[in-house]
Amino acid sequence: MRYPAPPDFIEPLLTCGAFVPANPGNANTAEFCDPQVDAQAQLALADGNPATTAGRWAAIDRELGDQAPWVPLYNPRNLTVLSARTGNYQFHSYWNLLSTNSGSINRARTAGARARHRLGPPDRQSGSRSSP
C-alpha cells in the first residue's frame, strides 16, 4: 500500500465506485459522486510519469476542496494530565498518550498496593493505619 498516496485516500472514499446507496457499510459517507472527478482519477492512475501524476492528483484535490464533500463540524481537543512520576511519556497527535514502557505505571501501582498491605487496614476509630 502506498498510503498516504492520493489514490489510497480519494478512491475508496470520494469516488462514484465507492458510493453504495442505502448500505450501512458505505465508505463514501459523503455520498459524493462526480463523474468528472472519477475520470480525472482514472487518468491519474493510468499515468506512469510521477511528475505529471502528482499534478493530476493535486488538481483532483483542489476540485474536491472546491466542492467540499466533507465539512468539519468541530475541532476536537484533548487534555492529558500526568503525574511528575510518569516516565517514558510520548504524545501522539492521533493516539494521544503513548508510553514506551507502560510497565513503569503498573509497577508504581503495585508498589503502592504493597505499601498499603504492609501498613495493614486502617484503624476504624482514628482512620490511621497500623502496622501488622
Question: How many domains is the chain built from?
Answer: 2
Answer with the one of 40, 67, 94 that is the final residue of a domain: 67
Q: Are residues 92 and 40 in the same domain?
A: no
- The answer to whether residue 51 is domain-embedded is yes
> Which three three-digit cell numbers place residue 124?
476504624
Give backbone dihedrals phi and psi of 55, rounded to 5 degrees, phi first.
-65, -40
Answer with the one of 42, 67, 92 that is the final residue of a domain: 67
- Cβ neighbour number for residue 89 with a 10 Å cutoff: 15
Q: Are residues 56 and 91 in the same domain?
A: no
Contact assessment for residue 2 and residue 8, using Cβ atoms and an 8 Å cutoff: yes
Give the model confidence (pLDDT) of 56-73 as tens digits.
999 999 999 999 998 888
Residue 111 is part of which domain span? 76-125
- The answer to whether residue 98 is domain-embedded is yes
Give the model confidence (pLDDT) of 8-44 as tens digits.
889 889 999 899 888 888 889 899 999 999 999 999 9
